[in-house]
Amino acid sequence: MRKFRNIAAAALAAGALVALTACNSGSPTDPAGGGEPAPEPEVADEVALEGSPTYDKMVENGGPIIGVKEDQPGLGYLDVATNERSGFDIEIARWIAASLGFDEEDITYKAVASANREQELVSGNIDYYVGTYSITDQRKEQIDFAGPYFVTGQGFLVAADSPITEVKDESTFNGKTVCSATGSTPIQNITENFPEVKTQEYDIYSQCVEDLLSGKVDAVTTDAAILIGYAAERPDELKVLPDTEGNNPGLFTEERYGVGLPKGDTALQEHINTLFTDGHDEWQKIFDATLGKSGVEIEQPEVDPVS
């Protein structure tokens, strides 16, 4: 029987600022290849997380079921040839599991499309979700979030030879077709606020990228961090647009990624927030081994207080 170690569950603030730096078709490198691998998280022993029904379920099942993405290079990616998962979000998910006393072999990963995330948590099909999950008031009506652990802005990916060279303003894509994942915050921003922009939606971003490469859509929009990974994979074919100030680009939104949790599990929420607050060095090592390879410079954001 594994022994579990108690880890304090009080979230403290640690001020931080996030800055995505210049990224175009030539700047990022493959976020999944080269350099030092992500650190192996130390698995806690003798954990006793009282008051968390989600943790109790994880213990009963012999490990966590973690909702993830698997089509986002540098963030959440599944190599179908090797069956290995990689990326910043995957390493964050493993770090959380290790802090709860679970080894890698104890983890069950479940790919969940953006539109289904809340329902999977509400139904208890997953224990927590780590996958470019933006914290919003609407989502918090059904679930809770720990974090944020990353902050980015909405970006646009186009073909390398696209006549569009920058995001000038909201009219840049008028009359053009922009693609994103069904249920994602970026596509909601487009449909609700920019009616002259045509949209195409799929369950996964990789289908949007394929449509972009084949000329079926004019751009892919989602969080800039996701798009950097795709541009890094095919720098001769794809580019992430800067805005008129040379930023990348955050024209419409600020996206704050959190860990999705079942509603009301304050003990688990506080545990993860404390992990993020106290684990700056570990967070930085994970970032440097994943998204940091793409040329992004970032500081860990401050976690939200538990309400």
Divide the 307 residues of the chain into consecutive groups of 10 and give the mean pLDDT of each group: 30 27 31 60 92 98 97 90 94 98 97 95 98 94 97 89 84 92 84 90 92 97 84 83 55 83 98 97 91 72 87
Are 267 and 51 in contact by the 8 Å Cβ rule? The answer is: yes
Domain contains 170: yes
Domain contains 196: yes
**CATH code of the domain containing 165:** 3.40.190.10
Domain contains 258: no
Nearest alpha carbon to residue 163 among 150, 178, 173: 173
Nearest alpha carbon to residue 185 among 223, 158, 216, 131: 223
Nearest alpha carbon to residue 261 among 91, 102, 65, 76: 65
Are 179 and 211 in contact by the 8 Å Cβ rule? The answer is: yes
Q: In Å, what is the CA distance from 198 to each residue of 107, 160, 219, 298?
A: 40, 21, 10, 33
DSSP code at position 154: E
Question: H/E element holding 106?
Answer: none
CB atoms within 10 A of CB 214: 9
Please calculate the CA angle 249-250-254 and round it to the nearest 5 degrees: 155
For the chain, how many structural domains are there in total?
1
Domain contains 193: yes
Domain contains 282: no
Domain contains 21: no
Rounded distance between C-alpha atoms, residue 169 and residue 240, angstroms: 15
Domain contains 26: no
pLDDT at 192: 86
Per DSSP, the three-state class of 128 is strand
Residue type, 112: V
How long a stretch of residues is the chain?
A: 307
Rounded distance between C-alpha atoms, residue 111 and residue 17, angstroms: 30
Domain contains 79: no
Rounded distance between C-alpha atoms, residue 222 and residue 256, angstroms: 13
pLDDT at 252: 62
**For residue 265, what are the β-bridge partners?**
none
Sign of CA dihedral 135, 277, 269, 105: positive
> Which domain covers residue 227, as residue numbers?
154-240
